[in-house]
Amino acid sequence: MALLEAIGIAKSFGGIHALSELSLRVEAGEAVGLVGPNGAGKTTLFNCLNGVERPDTGTVIFAGHRIDGLPIHRRARLGIGRTFQRLELFSGLTVRDHLLVAERVRRGGGRMRVWRDLLDMGGPTAQEQAGVDRTLDLLGLVPVAETVVDALTLGQGRLVELGRALAGEPLLLMLDEPSSGLDTSEASELAGVLNKVRHDSGTAILLVEHDMDMVHQVVSRLYVLDLGHLIAEGDIDKVLADPKVRSAYLGQEV
């Protein structure tokens, strides 16, 4: 059984068919790429998979559960971690604060826990601290753990975003253009971190990315979207040699 199986996903916004009957699967521990020109529907598909949007039709099965009717936090607790195209960090909070909040949200803790937090009686638990320390170590963020995020480089900020998505040890990590704004060497370093995460934790990766070097470094299988349709899928080198794919990318380097 696949870790993630999306079948017949369609989503329209007014008259725009952002996604047309799209199906996709990711095996446990697999790294899969999702590429396509601007407006192809990549972010919309991510939104339908993690619960930001409800698809108009289609089924999403994750780790044996049908999830397409579940809210975002329930999908997150089942093991879907996600980063966003735009960096969303909280000014004035440290790197450690960001990761702690993510740990708590991801692991949940029931109604009593929420009340304790509201009454400000709930400091970090040993389990939360341990989770945060593991993530800081994995991402090489230990030296900046107590630094406020405003003082970080963009590359470090992207790692914090990745760390938040890794809270609670997800089974699947969905990344929406993680190399955006990074230079070549930072993007390559980030690819190395993703490979390490997958290797060490067995986390499956679904990567949306325009930087083909990075895609090559991380994934072996690729889906190509164009105007809401899946136009190719399979082994990365075979797919990129496909004339349909080359013409969808006309004017762009593949």
Ligand X SMILES: Nc1ncnc2c1ncn2[C@@H]1O[C@H](COP(=O)(O)OP(=O)(O)OP(=O)(O)O)[C@@H](O)[C@H]1O
What is the binding site for Mg ion (CB under 5 A)? Answer: 42-43
User: Binding string, 60-89, against ligand X, x = CB under 6 A?
Assistant: -------------------------x----
The one among 3, 18, 162, 222 contacting ligand X by CB under 6 A: 18
The one among 3, 31, 44, 75 contacting ligand X by CB under 6 A: 44
Q: Which residue, among 38, 44, 50, 39, has the nearest Cα to 11 in the 3D structure?
A: 44
Dihedral over alpha carbons 135, 175, 188, 212 (to 10 degrees): 170
DSSP count for the chain of H helices, then E strands: 10, 10
The one among 38, 110, 112, 243 contacting ligand X by CB under 6 A: 38
Residue 39 sits in the site that holds ligand X (CB under 6 A):
yes
The one among 8, 13, 142, 246 contacting ligand X by CB under 6 A: 13
The H or E element spanning position 8 is strand 4-13
User: Residue 59: how many CB atoms within 10 A of its CB?
Assistant: 15
The H or E element spanning position 75 is helix 72-78
Q: Are strands 4-13 and 16-26 parallel, antiparallel or unpaired?
A: antiparallel
Which residue, 8 or 202, has its beta carbon nearer to ligand X?
Answer: 8
- Cβ-closest position to Mg ion: 43
Cα angle value 199/96/174 (rounded, 5°): 40
Residue 251 sits in the site that holds ligand X (CB under 6 A):
no
Binding-site residue total for ligand X (CB under 6 A)? 12
The one among 26, 40, 149, 218 contacting ligand X by CB under 6 A: 40
Which residue, 53 or 133, has its beta carbon nearer to ligand X?
Answer: 53
Residues lying near ligand X in the complex (CB under 6 A) are found at 13, 16, 18, 36, 38-44, 85
